[in-house]
C-alpha cells in the first residue's frame, strides 16, 4: 500500500445480511468474502464498479442476540 500510495481502511464489524459496509460503497463481494473465509485470509484483487479492492478477514465475532433494554 505504501509503495503505491494507497490507503488501507478497516471497517467496523458488519452483519452478513448487509449490502452496505461503513466506509465502503456497496460491495457485495466484500460481504461474500468475509463470511466464507477464515481469519487471516487475503483476497485476490477485486475489480468492482467503483474501483479495485483487496480484502482481508481480520476478525470474526460469534453471533449473539442483543439484550432488550
Contacts of 26 (CB under 8 A, 6+ apart): 19, 20
Q: What's the pLDDT at 22?
A: 78
Residue-wise pLDDT for 28-54, tens only, equals 888 888 999 999 999 999 888 778 888
Instruction: Give percent of the chain with pLDDT exceeding 90.
Output: 23
Query: What is the predicted pLDDT for the residue at 37?
Result: 96
Q: Buried b vs exposed e over 36-60: b needs ≥16 C-beta within 10 Å?
A: eeeeeeebeeeeeeeeebebebeee
Phi, psi of 8 (to 5 degrees): -100, 130
User: What is the C-alpha radius of gyration for the chain, rounded to an integer number of angstroms?
Assistant: 14
Does this model's pTM top 0.85? My answer is no
Strand bridging mode 51-53 / 46-48:
antiparallel
Q: Where are the domains of the chain?
A: 1-60
Amino acid at each position: 500500500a505504501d509503495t503505491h500510495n494507497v490507503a488501507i481502511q478497516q471497517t467496523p464489524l458488519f452483519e452478513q445480511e448487509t449490502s452496505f459496509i461503513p466506509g465502503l460503497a456497496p460491495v457485495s463481494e466484500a460481504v461474500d468474502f468475509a463470511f466464507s473465509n477464515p481469519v487471516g485470509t487475503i483476497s485476490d484483487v477485486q475489480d468492482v464498479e467503483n474501483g479495485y479492492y483487496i480484502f482481508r478477514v481480520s476478525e470474526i465475532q460469534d453471533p449473539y442476540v442483543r439484550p432488550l433494554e
